[in-house]
């Protein structure tokens, strides 16, 4: 099955929620853990235990593991493996973007099943030109994996690039969305090439109907609400994958409390269907 088909199936069975597992130092301390590899491992694997059996996808942010070097990456490998064993898809948040052989190396590292970090999908940046993502696109197709391409992010610096207009009048974000729409054309039940669109961007005049999933960070603790999702995405709500991390993770270190938080969040999001 393609990534788009697997994600659609998981969302229909488990609800649309994507749970972020971002073990930054402040959260480790909130859980009573040291900011060490041991604390990282306890945090991350407890979060997997509490969340992965109950959500469509889990999104680990690679940077919070990489900061511990090879031992942190080894924990990330376990997060990927144990999330998949629990039945959730893995969206690895790496935001890679480069050209040529370097892009291919990144694609092989995160999308090739031979890699210990192989994930169902990754986040990528198109701002070296959408064509620079070619190795990611082809590798994803070859391995039935997916991509989530940055399009309309909610950081305050984003509009400087994303709202800029090209000679043809399209915004950079609009151009990215057009490319994704072309990649997903004719795919059923939806394509495997998604866009990242923040829940707190306030509004957009762009057409986000790309026949692919929309990964929407910022739901929950960062201020995004169900009302925001309805307003921003309208008729494309069924393709929205809201991502929440802090709102869920604050319920740790009790795995059962994490599971209950995921259940309640998915119930709230059921109104989107």
- For the annotated catalytic residues, the residue numbers are 95
Task: Measure the CA dihedral 24/25/31/36, to 10°.
Answer: 110
Is residue 217 a contact partner of residue 227, using CB atoms and an 8 Å limit?
Answer: no
Query: In three state form, how does the secondary structure of the chain look?
Result: CCHHHHHHHHHHHHCCCEEEECCCHHHHHHCCCCCCHHHHHHHHHHHHHHHHHHCCEEEEECHHHHCCCHHHHHHHHHHHHHHHHCCCEEEEEEEECCCHHHHHHHHHHHHCCCCCCCCCEEEECCCCCHHHHHHHHHHHHHCCCEEEEEEECCCCCCHHHHCCECCCCCEHHHHHHHHHHHHCCCCCCCCCEEEEECCCCCCCCCCCCCCCCEEEECECCCCECHHHHHHHHHHHHHHEEEEECHHHHCCCCCHHHHHHHHHHHHHHHHHHC
Is residue 272 a contact partner of residue 237, using CB atoms and an 8 Å limit?
Answer: yes
Instruction: Identify which of 178, 238, 253 has the alpha carbon closest to the alpha carbon of residue 208.
Output: 178
Copy the structure tokens of residue 152: 């309309």
């Amino acid at each position: 099955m393609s990534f788009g088909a697997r994600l659609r199936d998981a969302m229909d069975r488990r609800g649309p929620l994507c749970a972020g597992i971002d073990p930054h130092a402040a959260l480790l301390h909130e859980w009573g853990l040291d900011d060490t590899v041991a604390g990282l491992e306890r945090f991350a694997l407890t979060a997997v235990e509490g969340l992965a059996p109950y959500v469509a996808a889990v999104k680990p942010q690679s940077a919070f593991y990489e900061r511990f070097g090879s031992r942190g990456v080894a924990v990330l490998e376990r997060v990927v493996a144990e999330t998949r064993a629990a039945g959730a898809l893995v969206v690895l948040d790496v935001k890679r973007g480069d050209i040529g052989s370097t892009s291919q190396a990144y694609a092989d590292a995160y999308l090739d099943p031979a890699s210990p970090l192989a994930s169902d999908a990754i986040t990528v940046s198109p701002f070296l030109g959408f064509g620079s993502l070619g190795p990611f696109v082809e590798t994803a197709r070859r391995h039935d994996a997916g991509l989530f391409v940055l399009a309309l992010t909610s950081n305050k610096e984003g509009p400087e690039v994303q709202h800029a207009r090209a000679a043809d009048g399209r915004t950079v974000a609009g151009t990215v969305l057009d490319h994704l729409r072309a990649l997903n054309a004719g795919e059923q039940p939806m394509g495997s090439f998604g866009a990242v669109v923040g829940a707190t961007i306030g509004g957009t005049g762009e057409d986000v109907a790309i026949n692919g999933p929309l990964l929407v960070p910022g739901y929950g603790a960062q201020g995004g609400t169900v009302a925001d999702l309805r307003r921003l995405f309208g008729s494309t709500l069924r393709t929205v994958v809201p991502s929440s991390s802090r709102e869920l993770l604050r319920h740790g270190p009790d795995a059962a409390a994490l599971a209950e938080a995921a259940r309640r969040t998915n119930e709230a999001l059921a109104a989107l269907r």
